[in-house]
Amino acid sequence: MFKEIPDLLGPAQIAELKSIAAGAKFVDGRISNPYAKMKQNLQLHDEAAYQKSSSLITQAMFGHEDFRNYAFPVAILPPLMTRYAPNMHYGPHADAAFLQLGKIALRSDLSCTIFLNDPDAYEGGALRIQLGTRDMRFRGAPGSAILYPSNTMHEVEPVTQGERLVAITFIQSRIADSFRRELLYELNEVAALEGLRMAPENFTRMQLIQASLLRYWGDRP
Interface with a copy of itself by CB under 8 A: which residues?
A: 1-4, 38, 75, 91-98, 100, 105-109, 131-134, 136, 150-151, 153, 172, 174, 176, 178-180, 182-183, 186-187, 189-190, 193-194, 197-202, 204-209, 211-216, 218-221
Radius of gyration of the chain (CA): 19
DSSP class per residue in 17-61: HHHHHHTS-EEEGGGG-TT-TTEE-EEE--HHHHHHHHHHHHHHH
* Rounded distance between C-alpha atoms, residue 89 and residue 179, angstroms: 30
* Rounded distance between C-alpha atoms, residue 42 and residue 141, angstroms: 20
Give me the least distance between CB of 65 and a copy of itself, in Å please. 15
Give me the least distance between CB of 163 and a copy of itself, in Å please. 25
* Rounded distance between C-alpha atoms, residue 10 and residue 180, angstroms: 31
Nearer to a copy of itself, 17 or 145 (CB): 145
Give me the least distance between CB of 195 and a copy of itself, in Å please. 10
Give me the least distance between CB of 162 and a copy of itself, in Å please. 24
Nearer to a copy of itself, 68 or 205 (CB): 205
